[in-house]
Amino acid sequence: MGPMTPDERLRSYRLKRRTEQSGEPNGSSATAPHEGLPRFVVQRHDARNLHFDVRLEVDGVLVSWAVPKGPSLNPADKRLAHRTEDHPLDYLDFEGRIGEGYGAGTVIVWDIGTYDNLTLVDGEPIAAAHALAKGHIKVELHGHKLSGAFAFTHTRMGGDEANWMLVKVDDDAADRRRRPTSTQNESVLTGLTNSDLEADPLP
Ligand code: MN
């Protein structure tokens, strides 16, 4: 068995939703090549429970975590990050209102940008997919609201295989006062908020 293809990795994404009804991307462009650094997105998803979806582009898909409180710039904050199904690359700039069904609610692009994989093992850089498989990845984000290094660690807290922890690395971009998840709730793409989208007609 070789590594899974993006199509294979998106099987769970596609099984969970009917994209022709929800208006979400179906991932048909998941394997489209692009130049430069891998990308990341943080989406603010006002669903049954408000949360932030943090996604990193890795090998043709968006590796994803739902972070209930969202990322913090304070290295003292440990944020629960629940690993969810890989998403297609065309989810990167998805905003809208998802109707009844899985994930029903509104989604805005809260932050978007590129990242560098900083993960080292025994002082040597390792690929993002390998770092994830080992349960620890350190990335430097180049976004509008988020910058500097963040670390994801697979904690399996409470015996839940999906539980990871997201922590700001203590670097120049760490900030113990600024709380963008409270004070900057608009989309970096459109300036819209989740509540602006509640009035949207469904697709
Ligand atoms: Mn979500």
Query: Over the stretch 176-191, which tens digit does the pLDDT of each residue have?
Result: 999 999 999 999 999 9
pLDDT digits (tens, 9 = 90+) for 37-89: 999 999 999 999 999 999 999 999 999 999 999 999 999 999 999 999 999 99
Kindly give the distance from the C-alpha atom of residue 121 to the centroid of ligand 1, in angstroms, as a whole number: 31
Cα of 103 from ligand 1 centre, angstroms: 6
* 99 CA distance to ligand 1 middle (Å): 13
pTM: 0.93
Write down the pLDDT at residue 26. Answer: 83
Residue 102 alpha carbon to ligand 1 centre in Å: 9
pLDDT of 33 reads: 60
Amino acid of residue 164? W
The residue written with tokens 């596609």 in the block is 14
Q: Which long-range contacts (CB under 8 A, 24 or more apart) does 32-39 make?
A: 32/89, 36/114, 37/114, 37/115, 37/116, 37/142, 38/114, 38/115, 38/117, 38/128, 39/92, 39/112, 39/113, 39/114, 39/115
